[in-house]
Amino acid sequence: MRVLGTCNSLSPISFVNSSNFRRCFLPSETLIPSLSSTLPLRRVSRLSSSSSAPMAAAYVAPAEPKKPVKPWLVVGLGNPGKKYDGTRHNVGFQLVDAIGEAEGISINSVSFKALFGKGFIGDVPIMLVKPQTFMNSSGESVGAIVSYYKIPHEQVLVIYDDLDFPFAKLKMLPKGGHGGHNGMRSIIDHFKGNRNFPRLRIGIGRPPGKMDPVNFVLRPFTKQEREELNFTFQDGIEAVRILLLEGFNKSATFVNTAKPLKQLG
């Protein structure tokens, strides 16, 4: 083999790094004589023209683990048993049932003294709950669920009836007191006085004449009232969807903005 110029005097290392490398050999693969005549010839590939040093691997930062998303707890208040089905005091139960039906969430598990259903709205986990403790002890169930799942209070929406609000009207609030509602009073007590959780009030109107409010809230709705409530429930379902997917402010704006009256056929 013919060796050009001063290539005979280069060591293997200096040869590879030498600026004479290209002048010495033109082919992409070339036989290089070793310094010892007793060693066989070695075959090497021509190095990159930009650098003879190996390329450093690009650093890729490890992906940070995603924090688990806390579920929303949506609680409807009411009294258990057929005796109270369809009554005014159970309108919270009824709206939660409507949400479950619309979102394909079965509320048929029994846990924490409540009927319980788990599912998703979009990619947000949600728990639908109907306490079975009777209205005045609702906090026993709700407090235990919040404590067990470590749900932030701002992700607990309580839906309940309101005597002081016009019939079939909705009102979304970020926090507040119990307003004389015993179910809400119980929840606040079990939250150790914390009132900073959202609530969706459903107006059931005032009792006629001098009727005792206790008797009034246990009365069923008339057929016409039921039809009107069905429209209200559609707004309530949409309000919960907006709450989970777009936040409280957008949901409150949707709920609390005056809407045209719906005509019943």
Element (H, E) at 92: helix 91-103
Question: What CA–CA distance (Å, rounded) separates 128 from 237?
Answer: 12
Active-site annotation holds for 89: yes
Long-range CB pairs of 16-22 (<8 Å, 24+ gap) are 16/44, 16/47, 16/52, 17/52, 21/46, 21/47
Report the predicted TM-score, pTM, of the whole model to 2 decimal places.
0.74
Would you write out the chain's pLDDT as a tens digit for each of its 265 residues?
A: 444 444 444 444 444 444 444 444 444 444 444 444 444 544 544 444 444 555 556 777 677 666 677 899 999 999 999 999 999 999 999 999 999 999 999 999 999 999 999 999 999 999 999 999 999 999 999 999 999 999 999 999 999 999 989 999 999 999 999 999 999 999 999 999 999 999 999 999 999 888 999 899 999 999 999 999 999 999 999 999 999 999 999 999 999 996 765 544 4
Provide φ and ψ at 252, rounded to 5°: -65, -40
β-pair type (114-121, 124-131): antiparallel
Catalytic member of 89, 153, 178, 181: 89
